Amino acid sequence: MAREGTSSTRYARPTPIQVCETYTNTTRGACLWIGDHARTATPRGLTPGWLTDDDKSNCGKQFVIKQGQKNVGGRVVDACSFDDGARVTTGQGCSAIYVTKVLYAELGGNVNDPNNVGSVKIDSWDLCV
């Protein structure tokens, strides 16, 4: 199922944990929500986020980001808490995707501009299964 509408992507710096694999800014990769920094508690019986320390089943999966006529792809390499702003709803956490520096630049982000807010608009993203 594609995440559409108000989706955005941010540049993700490699985290010290690197849940799925070791990666660098040149890896064509993404970081998906780990379920932390949520506004509300996770509903009973559900797993928070796309990845957890106990459930790494989405690690290594291929994804595609659609932005206009452009499609950019890579693989899931990490989990992020998205704690760099306000607490997120489950919908916001599940629809957002953080990407490595190389993909952020491909999507029009300028990692060298200190005035860049670190976010670019996308149409949707989806896991390729």
- Condensed to tens digits (0 to 9), the pLDDT of residues 79-129 reads 988 877 788 888 888 888 999 989 999 999 988 887 776 888 999 999 997
- Name the band, by pLDDT with cuts 50, 70 and 90, for residue 12: low
State the pTM of this model. Answer: 0.82
Q: In 3D, which of 27, 31, 35 has the Cα closest to residue 9?
A: 31
Grade residue 2 by pLDDT with cuts at 50, 70 and 90.
very low
Q: Which domains does the chain have, with CATH numbers?
A: 3-128 (2.40.40.10)
Q: What is the pLDDT of residue 10?
A: 58
Alpha carbons 54 and 63: distance in angstroms, whole number:
21
Q: Are the CB atoms for 49 and 108 separated by under 8 Å?
A: no
DSSP the chain: --EESS-EEEE-PPPSS-SS----TTS-EEEEE-S-SBSSPPPTT---SS--SS--TTTT-EEEEEETTEEEEEEEEEEE---SSS-B-HHHHHH-EEE-HHHHHHTT--TT-TT--SEEE-SEEEEE-
